Structure 1
Amino acid sequence: QRFLFPVQMVQRLGLIRDEADEAALPDGYEALLVPEDGMLRPLDLVEDELVLAVPAVPMNPESDAVDREWPIPEEELTKASPFAALSSLKKN
């Protein structure tokens, strides 16, 4: 279900110069490798984090879950099939 409400997320990034420094990061931090020129590009960083944060199937967190065993309404069970008349036209 689509919704247009604000979404909050917390992202903790630890800046590292090489991959060996990643082990020294505190728990809960994601490593961000600083480019060789030392210049961080905030626009690229924010864009990447937003793309990764958007779920493949966005859902309203306050909506009810859909029951996998969706019950068939009684009227659907008793209603005649629109294709029932075609069975008389079938050749054996």
Structure 2
Amino acid sequence: MSEGLPEDIDWLRAVKSGLVLEGVLPLVDLPRLREALYGRVEGMLCYSIAFERDQAGRALIRGRLSTALRLECQRCLGPMAQPVDVELMVVLVTAESSLEALPEEYDPLVVEGGSVRLRDLIEDELLLAIPLVPRHPLGQCADPGLAEGDLSSRDGARPNPFAVLAGWRRHPSN
């Protein structure tokens, strides 16, 4: 077992030795992920990554990524914590032609050369774990009108913006 996350890693050597990496990584160190987060970026990512071979001899990266991401709720536009617990399993392939022969349960990672950038792989997995529309569960938004899920009128006094279209209807001519 090794501490720390190297910038680049020789994947062939790592698979051959059965390298295992475990540790924590500040979320602020992941620039693409930072852009998707709400407000000041805080928090740590716990990771466990193992390089190994499967029964068919394919080179694999297996692991687990755990953190809480601070996202913007699309219901109330306030901050929300999104727990993330991602199981990572990718097969390393050197040519795109070998992608068709892979079992469905494997996500391929096409590698060029002898190194893998683990931070990029981790960041990609975290970005994929962000919900398409992040929202608090009903009843947990800061705005009580939104918490009930009533988006049409919070106070009942808001006019219907489509009411003007009712006058545009054509009446059948005689």
Using structure 1 for the length normalisation, give the TM-score. Answer: 0.55
Counterpart mapping for 1:1-92 below 5 A? 1=73, 2-35=79-112, 37-60=113-136, 63-64=137-138, 66=149, 70=152, 76=157
User: Structure 1: any 5+ residue segments left out of the alignment?
Assistant: 78-92
Specify whether residues 8 and 67 from structure 1 end up closer, same or farther in structure 2 by C-alpha distance, changes over 3 A only. Answer: farther
Unaligned runs of 5+ in 2: 1-72, 74-78, 139-147, 159-174
Deviation (angstroms), 1:67: 6.2
Q: Which of the two has higher C-alpha Rg?
A: 1
Question: 1:32: how far off?
Answer: 0.3
State, as a whole percentage, how many aligned pairs show the same letter. Answer: 33
Partner amino acid for 1:34?
Answer: V
- The one-letter code matched in structure 2 to 1:33 is V
Separation of aligned partners in 2, 1:54 and 1:72: 28
Q: Relative contact order, CA 8 A, sep 6+: which one is greater?
A: 1
**Greater helix content:** 1
Structure 2 vs 1, CA of residues 46 and 76 (structure 1 numbering), >3 Å: closer, same or farther? Answer: same
